[in-house]
Chains A and B, each alone.
Chain A
Amino acid sequence: MALTTKPNIADADGFYAKLLATHRGLSEAQSHALNARLVLILSNHIGDADVLEAALALARDGA
């Protein structure tokens, strides 16, 4: 399986707003912790080692 890099979320603006809303009211440390949990949850959902590796590389690129 290959990593999807084409748009895949129907309501992109809506998702983005929800992501921010999920963090609202949290301290920076709490937000970091939430993000870490989110990465783990989504990674488990994906599961596929090749997709995860491609996603890690894409995220790291330009860091």
Chain B
Amino acid sequence: MAYDYQPFDYVPPPGLNGPEARHKVAIIGAGPIGLAMAIELANHGVPAVVLDDNNVVSVGSRAICWSKRSLEILDRLGVGEQSVTKGVTWKVGRTFHRAQEVFNFDLLPEDGHKMPAFVNLQQYYVEEYLVERARALGIDLRWKNKVVAVDPRADHAVLTVETPDGSYALEADWVIACDGARSPVRGMLGLDFEGELFEERFLIADIQMEADFPSERWFWFEPDFHTGQSALLHKQPDNIYRIDLQLGWDTDPEVEKQPERIIPRIERVVGHKNFTLDWTSIYTFQCRRLRNFVHGPVLFVGDSAHIVSPFGARGGNGGLQDVDALGWRLAAVVKGAQEADILAGYDRERVFGADENLLNSSRSTRFMSPEDGVERLFRDAVLHLASRVDFARPMVNSGRLSRPCVYPLIAPDADLPKGARPGAVAPDAPVAEGWLLNALGGEFVVLALGADAPAVPGARSLAPKVNDHLQSRYLGQANSAIYLIRPDQIVAARWLSASGDEIAAAMQAAWGA
């Protein structure tokens, strides 16, 4: 493969020689979500041990589309700029029906944001950067440590871990399952997903070739090179291109996986033979989640909690938003500053977020892969009309790309710009010192614009000089405003003016929310 896989060293864990002291947090799975979770907790001053059954980064590019919000989260974790520098930045998507463009979108039409709308970057690079960062922070990463049993108790859990040198027991107050779509932990707890399994399969292929495709997302319905099906082309770094081809349910995945079947298909897409096959995979569309993400001392984060069909980039990006929503809450519980029941807020917000992702990806799947009968009738009618009249173009659904959800908070609000309402991610903007988002997060921030920031115990104050971007994103017609921003950079409450007591009360409510 194009990427040079460097195995991480397995080190015999201390638990093999005698019981280890109970850990505060054990994270199962060192994928992007598990690693991000460990770094997020470390940034909050909470140590975690990370257990992974493997000893390399992701085999294959897998998650490649990182959203603006994910890049902002990665930036807070210390790997955002690296990811943008290496990645392919894009914001325009084009959708074709046969040879004709029928719809396009621009995901970030305005300037004044540190992070672009999307960056394409292979999952193995993101993991590589996160591992480097985790090591720099001294996080205990244990490779070839496979969790084979989870025993949840009243106030902790006991894990049985297998290593090349035998097995040991590890106790932790909290266990975070970041072990992916097939989550063994989910099985060990006897939990199952609820939701839809679509009868559709796609072939993913990464190819390496010298080409001059623009940095855009191209999606085809019924292209001439793949009759009656759908296809997607995405550019990645290192001259790697991702091609997704719809296979239909009647095909045999084992047969379709063979290079002699794949290569001729790719030749038809790119129009020549000058490429090498780097990695392939076949996936089935699913839109399912756990009913709840908090199960006593065991917390589910990322694909272990919810899986969506692709084409909305809602898997990895949804997982990072889980990390965002859990980190500050769990850290406060571990440090004894808050009661464990505040984790219900994580469950509620991320079930809400997962449902939004599931809704969008189910709709996209229905459009891309309609059932015979009326679903196909209307899908084809939309495509037929889209080439001739404007109104049908927004109905063409080749995936609605991940945007952070706006949590339904009940909180003080005022007549200020909608984009910065309570529950939304605080919009980025340039400030004198760099970027606003780099100055938010980690703890509660009282952001005062055109006013002095009242002192509030437990919150940091920030009063940047108002510029045009801050005016339009935070003030609108108002001359001044006070915003309370959560540690995960979500707007908790806002006022035209507020006393320290009002802000403190809103902060108290936000902990409980």
Taking Cβ atoms with an 8 Å cutoff, the residues of A that contact B are 32-33, 36-37, 39-41, 44
Q: Is B392 an interface residue (CB 8 A)?
A: yes
Stretch binding the partner chain, chosen from B377-385, B416-424, B489-497: B377-385
A-side contacts of B391, CB under 8 Å: 40-41, 44
Pick 15 A–B contacts, CB within 8 A, sort by A.
Answer: A32-B377, A33-B380, A33-B384, A36-B377, A36-B381, A37-B381, A39-B378, A40-B378, A40-B391, A40-B392, A40-B395, A41-B385, A41-B389, A44-B391, A44-B392
A-side contacts of B378, CB under 8 Å: 36, 39-40
A-side contacts of B380, CB under 8 Å: 33, 36
Please state if A40 and B382 are interface contacts (CB–CB under 8 Å).
yes
B-side contacts of A32, CB under 8 Å: 377
Taking Cβ atoms with an 8 Å cutoff, the residues of B that contact A are 377-378, 380-382, 384-385, 389, 391-392, 395
A-side contacts of B377, CB under 8 Å: 32-33, 36
A-side contacts of B392, CB under 8 Å: 40, 44
- Summarize B's interface: helix, strand, loop or mixed: helix
CB nearest neighbor in A for B395 = A40
B-side contacts of A39, CB under 8 Å: 378, 381
Taking each of A32, A33, A37, which has the highest tally of chain B beta carbons within 10 Å of its own beta carbon?
A37
A-side contacts of B389, CB under 8 Å: 41
CB nearest neighbor in A for B380 = A33
In whole angstroms, how far apart are the Cα atoms of A36 and B381 in the complex?
Answer: 6
CB nearest neighbor in B for A32 = B377
The 8 closest A-B pairs by CB, nearest first: A36-B381, A44-B391, A37-B381, A36-B377, A36-B378, A37-B385, A40-B381, A32-B377
B-side contacts of A37, CB under 8 Å: 381, 384-385
State the Cβ distance, A48 to closest chain B Cβ, in Å: 14
In addition to A37-B384, A44-B391, 18 A-B residue pairs with Cβ atoms within 8 Å of each other are: A32-B377, A33-B377, A33-B381, A33-B384, A36-B377, A36-B380, A36-B381, A37-B381, A37-B385, A39-B381, A40-B378, A40-B381, A40-B392, A40-B395, A41-B385, A41-B389, A41-B391, A44-B392
Taking each of B381, B382, B384, B392, which has the highest tally of chain A beta carbons within 10 Å of its own beta carbon?
B381
Taking each of A39, A40, A44, which has the highest tally of chain B beta carbons within 10 Å of its own beta carbon?
A40
CB nearest neighbor in B for A44 = B391
A-side contacts of B384, CB under 8 Å: 33, 37
State the Cβ distance, A52 to closest chain B Cβ, in Å: 13
In whole angstroms, how far apart are the Cα atoms of A33 and B373 in the complex?
Answer: 11
CB nearest neighbor in B for A45 = B391
CB nearest neighbor in A for B378 = A36
In whole angstroms, how far apart are the Cα atoms of A44 and B380 in the complex?
Answer: 17
State the Cβ distance, B88 to closest chain A Cβ, in Å: 36
B-side contacts of A44, CB under 8 Å: 391-392
CB nearest neighbor in A for B374 = A36
State the Cβ distance, B363 to closest chain A Cβ, in Å: 16
B-side contacts of A36, CB under 8 Å: 377-378, 380-381
In whole angstroms, how far apart are the Cα atoms of A44 and B391 in the complex?
Answer: 7
State the Cβ distance, A33 to closest chain B Cβ, in Å: 6
